[in-house]
Every structure is written in structure tokens, then in C-alpha cells.
Amino acid sequence: MTDHALRLGISRCLLGDAVRYDGGHKHDGFLTDVLGPYVEWIPVCPEVEAGLGVPREPMRLVSGTTSPRLLTVKSGIDYTETVERFSEQRVHTLEALQLCGYVFKDHSPSCGMEQVPMYNAHGMPVRPGGVGVFARTFMAHFPLVPVEEERRLKNPLIRDHFIERVFCYRRWKAVLYSDRLTQEELIPFHTRHKLLLLSHSRKHYDALEQLIGNAKQYRPVELARRYGTHFMNALKIAATPRTHVNVLQHVLGHFKTVLRQQEQEELLGVIEDYHHGIVPLMAPLTLITDYIHRFDVAHLKEQLYFEPFPKELKRRIEHCNN
């Protein structure tokens, strides 16, 4: 990347800016106070930037013959083309900023990424929900960029998953923007992410292993496209207790020759406790991390599975959870 800024797009109202239809905002303290110090927010309000005022008549998605329309609630004015035209222009300006993620406002007819309320021509709710006009354009234009909604980020598992993907995408972009992407450059990047990838998708991990093994068959641009797609699609799949246990048991094998029998049984017991929901994932990870440093296991020290994003940010998030 051209610089080290971790830039995330965000629905402007979530930063506390009074840009909503009623002149209000939807300030999210976690995003500004906990995550904010680690990122540079790039705020966007499609409705205001498309020329609509504050305050303004509220809008909603109305099902159409081909795609949903963006209509004002009372007067029925159709702003679909206006916001679509703005959205196409805005995503192109965002390209130069090298965004590593985006946080959308949930249920917004312009910014919602899923389950946005939709109505028929008579004002009656219809199912399933839709996607906001700007969010749809953004996700189509940047299919690998991690996206989430502030409502879903209140779930600790979803929140950690999103932040992990953001930092992984940033690291991938740093490799991608090197002068010439080669097999030699990909191998150390892939090696550091092996356990992390295994915790998300064995299928994608195997595909990436095969791709690296055959890397010389591809031109750099095609190699980057294939690797980046598999890499980010793997991380999009949420890790589960079962996949974490598989990784933890694999890690246990690295200590067979250095741990005493009692220590091996203790670690295996903590892994089993995690598997059954008795202790959190942090319990076996903390014990393993201690062993990694005690026995100086160089290969495992490099694994980003144990620290996919900064420790201080992790501590701030845990403090927020408590």
C-alpha cells in the first residue's frame, strides 16, 4: 500500500454527524472510541452527498418489477437513479483510498447491507428484506473488502471476525502492492496465515496451498487475483468451535517432544473444555502462547492465528465487553 493508514469507510451518521433524515445521528461509541484510534474513518452519507437535504422526507425501498426502488414515504418521489448515479461515482473515488473495510448503517434504504425493510406499492411490508442502494453498489464494486453493519457488530463473535478480516485484508493489500508479486513473496505471507486459514476453511486452505505450489504457471496479476479471492473468501467463513479445536489439536502436536505428560494432558483438557463451552477460546490460546514463548517455537511465533490484530485493541474490546 502507498501508506500505512488503516482506512475504513463508514456511514457518516455512525460518527455522530447529524445527517439523518430527521436531522439526528446514530453515534456508535464502540466505533468511535474503541476502534476509532486504530483506523482512519472515511465517512459517507449517500443521501446527503447525492444532494438531498437535512432534514428530508424519509425514504424506503419499494419492490419493483426488476429491482427495488428508493421512494420517499409520503410523496412517493423516486430517488433511485439519483442515489445510484451518486453511488457509481463515489465507489470510484473510494478506490484511491484503498479501504480495508466498511461499516454500514443497518436497515438504511441507502446503506443497509442486508434485511433492509421493503414495502410493496401499497405500503405493506414484504419479505425478504433488501439491500440499500449504495451498499449494493459498494459490495459489487469491492467484493473482497470486509463489510459489516453496526448492529451486527454488537455481537462479540461477529465483531472479532470483522476486525480480524480488516487487518488480514490490510496485510494482503501490502503484499499486493509490492513491485512484482511472486511465489517467493507469497510463501511467507501464506505461511504466517496458515493456522488462521485452517480455522476458517480447510477447503480454501487446500486451494491456496495448491495455488502456491503452481504459482509459476500464472502471471503476477492472475496469481494475485486468484490468491486474494481464495484468501478473503476463506476468512469470510466464520470459524467454529469445531474448526478451532482442529487447529488447537494440530498445534498440540508441536509440543509432543517438549511438554511433560501432565502438561500435555492439561492442555488437552483445556481444549476439551473449550470444545464443550466450559471455557472461552482465550483459555487454550493463553496456555499455548505461554508454551510457544517458553520453548521458543519459532514456527508458531509467526502464526497470526494467535494475534490476528493488535493486542492493545483486543484488550480494549475485552474491556468494552465487560
**DSSP per residue, 197-258:** HHHH-HHHHHHHHHHHHTGGGS-HHHHHHHHHHHHHHHHHSPP-HHHHHHHHHHHHGGGTTT
Together in a domain, 91 and 148: yes
pLDDT in tens, 168-196: 999 999 988 866 677 788 999 999 999 99
Last residue of a domain, one of 212, 236, 260: 236
Q: Which cell numbers in the block locate residue 300?
A: 508458531
Examine the domain organization and report whether 85 and 188 are in the same domain.
no
104 and 129 housed in the same domain: yes
Looking at the predicted structure, is the pLDDT value of residue 2 above 60?
A: no
* Domain co-membership, 314 together with 216: no
Last residue of a domain, one of 104, 124, 154: 154
C-alpha cell at 234: 476463506
12 lies in the same domain as 149? yes
pTM for the model: 0.94
Q: Is the model's pLDDT at 43 over the cut of 50? A: yes
pLDDT of residue 80: 97
Same domain membership, residue 113 and residue 18: yes
Average pLDDT over the chain, rounded to an integer: 94
For residue 128, what pLDDT is reported?
85
Question: Which three cell numbers, joined as nine digits, stand for 169?
Answer: 485484508
Return the pLDDT at 4: 59
| Residue 315 belongs to domain spanning | 241-321
Q: Give the integer Cα–Cα distance in Å for 262 and 268.
A: 10
Name the grid cell of 216. Answer: 509459476
Q: Check whether residue 34 and residue 162 sit in a common domain.
A: no
Q: Based on the domain organization, do 23 and 149 belong to the same domain?
A: yes
**3-class secondary structure, 75:** coil
Instruction: Please state the rounded mean pLDDT for residues 29-54.
Output: 97
82-137 per-position pLDDT tens digit: 999 999 999 999 999 999 999 999 999 999 999 999 999 899 999 888 999 999 99
User: For the chain, how long is the longest CA-to-CA vector?
Assistant: 75
What is the pLDDT, as a whole number, of residue 66? 81
Question: pLDDT value at position 1?
Answer: 45
Residues 163 and 188 in one domain: yes
Residue 46: cis peptide before it, omega within 30 degrees of 0? no
Please state the domain count of the chain: 3
Q: What are the tens digits of pLDDT across the range 225-271?
A: 999 999 999 999 999 999 999 999 999 999 988 999 999 999 999 99
Amino acid, single-letter form, for residue 225:
R
**19 and 147 share one domain:** yes
Do 117 and 126 meet the contact criterion of CB atoms below 8 Å apart?
no
35 & 115 share domain: yes
Same domain, 14 and 149: yes
Q: Of 154, 181, 205, which residue constitutes the final position of a domain? A: 154
